[in-house]
Amino acid sequence: MELKERLRELCLINGVSGDEDRVREYILGYAEKYCTCRTDPLGSLICFKNGKKQGKSLMICAHMDEVGFIITYINSDGTLQLRPVGGVDTTAAIGKQVIVGDPGIPGVIGSTAIHNIPRSERGKIPGWDSLYIDIGAADREEAEKLISPGDCAYFDSDFTELGGGSGIKSKAIDDRAGCAMMMELMAEELEYDTYFVFNVQEEVGLRGSRASAVSVAPDFALVLESTTAGDIDGVQGAKRVCCLGGGAVVGFMDRSTVYDRELYRLAFDTAEEYGIPCQTKTMIAGGNDAGAIHVSAGGIRTLAVSVPTRYLHSASCVIKTEDLYSSYELVKRLAARIPEV
Amino acid sequence: MDITEAIIRLSETSGASGAEVGAAETALEMLREYCPDAYISKGNVIGIFPAAGENMPFVLLDAHIDQVGMIVTSVTDDGFVKFAGLGGLDERLLPAQPVVIHGKTDIRGVICSVPPHLSGDGDTVPDIASSAIDTGMTKDELEAAVAPGDAVTYDVRCRRLHGSRLTGRALDDRCGVAAILYAVSLLRENAPECGYGVVFSVQEELGERGARLAAYSLKPDIAIAVDVSFGLAPGEKAEKCGILGKGPMIGISPCLSREVSQGLFSAAKSLGIPYQTEVMEGLTSTNADQYSVGGTGAKACTLSIPLRNMHTPVEVIDTADVELTGRLLAEYIRMVKEGD
């Protein structure tokens, strides 16, 4: 399957943190053809594939979970109280269609009508207490027949091409983009033995990777991610962090990790050698599973390659298709080189 | 007539204020099934059903055809589309909201959302002036396809929720359009004595402008603005709201005709259908405010369908209320007598 089509299928699967089963089942059905696979106690999927050579061990990983919501309470009027799972702004939640629970009940996230908010409060970011999910139930009894507290809710967003196919808009690109690249790579003939780890619970504190990194205990880790691009209207210079169309993103440092300097240089050298568009981050922003991995199992030399993504953690993440391919190309080359470091 | 299908069709047709053509043509086509002579005049969709008897009053049923939206103001060098609001937009939900720009063709895009490293700890939502639309297109591509003045609407499907509830954009006031179409379909079965007309009016969200033209040219004796009002939901005050599924809300206000309000109550009782009372202390912020004082004046009233999340892409209604509204309108018109 083509990489973009793989990304489409992955993005449309619902799986917020702690609720990654559907994503894992999808990946497992494919990975078993190429790898020896096991699921760890938290739910992370660990797949191993032999390469042509045995060198130092390499772990490539991405997280399966996406940001979303959890239902905390059913109100007497049949509406549902919710809380975010992972870092979601209320402004990204309000006014969106969602899917609730396993049966996939359609709903919307509502709030007080703008007309009824006092002028002094207008323009303020609403709190989670003022939002609710409406599935159309007329009262609590009706709602209880359809869902239960603890059920998750997911952004209901289609996977759309923008700009005549040069761009993609979807939910969950963070981090199904990483999952898609790993599925693509495991089907190829590899230079070195490689672990492919699909982690759980990244969005609630880099949790799945903390355990899986210890059980795999590799020499090197390569984290595949999507990272915030700030190149929107009105933002100039360093505050853009990274840009759509600028290629794979390899940062030297973010809020959770100072990346391995040698691997960082290797990434840019490799990109230059193969003519792969590659950029660094111009601000110390964001973070990913590398934060948990590089200090695990006595220390793991770690690098991250990310797809620059606008509007991360919303129903409408936007990427440039060419950046996905550049990132994949760089990852493929690095997988053949990192074990030689 | 399948009310739910009609609302879905109307909701998914675009017609931001001042750019109602698409929605108006759809509504015209639907109205012509009952009124082959229906026409569009100065944007308003109009259908007239002459009186059977002489000296009978002329009743006008109004629902507005426009929806809140946005209008393109410029294209930036970086290929972002700047816009202004059309009607009272809810700025809280603009970040990362999918939209359609109605340029030479429909172009899908997303409203930019400021990432956390730039928004800091601020507690205010970005205003419209600092927002822009990301289409994935370059400036050159955009300039060939989009021009200042093009309308923009929310990109969202209308969908069924549990039971008889429905969510979508522009239910304010396409559900009013559907209620009137349903009333007309009922009146065809059993024509009333009085004459009546239908207007699906433009630019309500910009200050009830289309209704001003219709009031002047159609000169109704009685005018009913069929619109939406606030549906009770978490965060809303019960005294300002109707309850979804409990029937249409009959307006009472110093600016409305108490005679017509009473007529609507009588019609609801005669049918034995549920209804709710909406008391307002002055202007109604509906087209009724224009019909009451437009031309030489008319007896005006509001009949409102309760709706949650007004002016958002996730408005919610109960289609049962739309059906009841249509039945109530038909019954009221049948009960209108000479001298009313």
Instruction: Say what the pLDDT of residue B282 is.
Output: 94
Helix (H, G, I), strand (E, B) or coil at A45: strand
Instruction: Say what the pLDDT of residue A21 is.
Output: 97
Q: Do B235 and A311 touch (CB under 8 A)?
A: no
**Is B193 in the same domain as B287?**
yes
Nearest chain A residue to B319 by CA distance is A136
HEC string for chain B: CCHHHHHHHHHCCCCECCECHHHHHHHHHHHHCCCCCCEEECCEEEEEECCCCCCCCEEEEEEECCECEEEEEEECCCCEEEEEEECCCCHHHCCCCEEEEECCCEEEEEECCCCHHHHCCCCECCCHHHCCEECCCCHHHHHHHCCCCCEEEECCCCEECCCCEEEECCHHHHHHHHHHHHHHHHHHHCCCCCEEEEEEECCHHHCCHHHHHHHHHHCCCEEEEEEEEEECCCCCCHHHCECCCCCCEEEECCCCCHHHHHHHHHHHHHHCCCCEEEECCCCCCCCHHHHHHCCCCCEEEEEEEEEECCCCCCEEEEHHHHHHHHHHHHHHHHHCCCCC
**Is B53 in the same domain as B73?**
no
How does pLDDT run across B88-115, given as a tens digit for each residue?
999 999 999 999 999 999 999 999 998 7
* Chain B residues with beta carbon closer than 8 angstroms to that of A114: 88-92, 310-311
B143 part of the active site: no
Instruction: Say what the pLDDT of residue A123 is.
Output: 87
**Is B199 in the same domain as B230?**
yes
CB within 8 Å of chain B, chain A residues 165-184: 166-167, 169
Q: Do A233 and B96 touch (CB under 8 A)?
A: no
Helix (H, G, I), strand (E, B) or coil at A46: strand
Domain that holds residue B327: 3-67+169-335
Instruction: Say what the pLDDT of residue B138 is.
Output: 95
* Chain A residues with beta carbon closer than 8 angstroms to that of B146: none
HEC string for B120-152: CCCCECCCHHHCCEECCCCHHHHHHHCCCCCEE
How does pLDDT run across B268-306, given as a tens digit for each residue?
999 999 999 999 999 999 999 999 999 889 999 999 999
Q: Calculate Rg over the CA atoms of chain B.
A: 20
Nearest to B310 among A96, A115, A228 (CB): A115
Q: Would residue B242 count as lying in a domain?
A: yes
In a mutational test of the A interface, the residue from B4, B73, B118, B319 whose CB has the highest number of chain A CBs within 10 Å is B118
Residue where a domain stops, chosen among B154, B183, B200: B154
Q: Would residue B163 count as lying in a domain?
A: no
Nearest chain B residue to A244 by CA distance is B136
**Is B7 in the same domain as B126?**
no
Q: Do B125 and A91 touch (CB under 8 A)?
A: yes
Q: Would residue B340 count as lying in a domain?
A: no
* Chain A residues with beta carbon closer than 8 angstroms to that of B115: 228-230, 241, 285, 310-312
Instruction: Say what the pLDDT of residue B2 is.
Output: 97
pLDDT at B120 over 90: no
Instruction: Say what the pLDDT of residue A281 is.
Output: 96
Instruction: Say what the pLDDT of residue B235 is.
Output: 94
Q: What is the C-alpha separation between B319 and B152, in angstroms, rounded?
A: 27
Question: Is B296 in CB contact (< 8 Å) with chain A?
Answer: no
- At residue B118 the predicted structure's pLDDT band, cuts being 50, 70 and 90, is confident
Q: Do A312 and B115 touch (CB under 8 A)?
A: yes
**Is B177 in the same domain as B308?**
yes
Name the active-site residue from B12, B141, B189, B204.
Answer: B204
**Is B320 in the same domain as B225?**
yes
In a mutational test of the A interface, the residue from B94, B110, B142 whose CB has the highest number of chain A CBs within 10 Å is B110
Q: Would residue B160 count as lying in a domain?
A: no
CA of B283 vs chain A CAs: smallest distance (Å) = 15
pLDDT at B117 over 80: no
Instruction: Say what the pLDDT of residue B326 is.
Output: 98
**Is B82 in the same domain as B62?**
no
Q: Would residue B161 count as lying in a domain?
A: no
* Chain A residues with beta carbon closer than 8 angstroms to that of B92: 90-91, 94-95, 111, 114, 125-126
Q: Which of A216, A218, A247 is nearest to A335 (CA)?
A: A218
The CATH number of whichever domain residue B82 belongs to comes to: 2.40.30.40
The CATH number of whichever domain residue B301 belongs to comes to: 3.40.630.10
Question: Is A130 in CB contact (< 8 Å) with chain B?
Answer: yes
**Is B89 in the same domain as B115?**
yes
Q: Would residue B260 count as lying in a domain?
A: yes
CA of B336 vs chain A CAs: smallest distance (Å) = 35
Instruction: Say what the pLDDT of residue B92 is.
Output: 94
CB within 8 Å of chain A, chain B residues 202-261: 230, 232-237, 240, 244-245
Q: Do A96 and B165 touch (CB under 8 A)?
A: no
Segment-wise mean pLDDT, segments of 10 residues, chain A, 341 residues:
95 97 98 98 97 93 98 97 96 96 95 93 92 97 96 96 95 98 97 97 96 97 97 94 97 96 98 98 94 96 98 96 98 96 92
Nearest chain B residue to A287 by CA distance is B117
3-state helix, strand and coil shares in percent for chain A, rounded to the nearest 5:
30, 30, 40
Nearest chain A residue to B76 by CA distance is A233
Instruction: Say what the pLDDT of residue A121 is.
Output: 87
Q: Do A233 and B132 touch (CB under 8 A)?
A: yes
> Looking at this predicted complex, what is its ipTM?
0.91
HEC string for B98-122: EEEEECCCEEEEEECCCCHHHHCCC
Q: What is the C-alpha separation between B303 and B309, in angstroms, rounded?
A: 19
Do A206 and A288 meet the contact criterion of CB atoms below 8 Å apart? Answer: yes
Mean pLDDT, residues B64-79: 97
**Is B74 in the same domain as B125?**
yes
Q: What is the C-alpha separation between B128 and B94, in angstroms, rounded?
A: 8
Instruction: Say what the pLDDT of residue B116 is.
Output: 75
* Chain A residues with beta carbon closer than 8 angstroms to that of B137: 162-164, 166
| Cα end-to-end span (Å), chain B | 30
**Is B319 in the same domain as B175?**
yes
Q: Which residue has the tokens 């405010």?
A: B289
Residue where a domain stops, chosen among B107, B127, B154: B154
Question: Is A36 in CB contact (< 8 Å) with chain B?
Answer: no
Residue where a domain stops, chosen among B154, B186, B214: B154
- At residue B311 the predicted structure's pLDDT band, cuts being 50, 70 and 90, is very high
How does pLDDT run across B230-262, given as a tens digit for each residue?
999 999 999 999 999 999 999 999 999 999 999
* Chain B residues with beta carbon closer than 8 angstroms to that of A133: none
CA of B175 vs chain A CAs: smallest distance (Å) = 17
Q: What is the C-alpha separation between B245 and B208, in angstroms, rounded?
A: 27
Percent of chain B clearing pLDDT 70 (strictly above): 100
Tell me what the pLDDT averaged over chain B comes to: 96
How does pLDDT run across B151-189, given as a tens digit for each residue?
999 999 999 999 999 999 999 999 999 999 999 999 998
Name the active-site residue from A20, A66, A191, A202.
Answer: A202
**Is B240 in the same domain as B283?**
yes
Q: Would residue B147 count as lying in a domain?
A: yes
CB within 8 Å of chain A, chain B residues 149-208: 156-157, 159-163, 165, 167
Split into its structural domains, chain B has a count of 2
Q: Would residue B133 count as lying in a domain?
A: yes
Percent of chain B clearing pLDDT 90 (strictly above): 92
CA of A223 vs chain B CAs: smallest distance (Å) = 21
**Is B79 in the same domain as B119?**
yes
Q: Which helix (H) or strand (E) holds A5?
A: helix A3-11
Q: Do B88 and A114 touch (CB under 8 A)?
A: yes
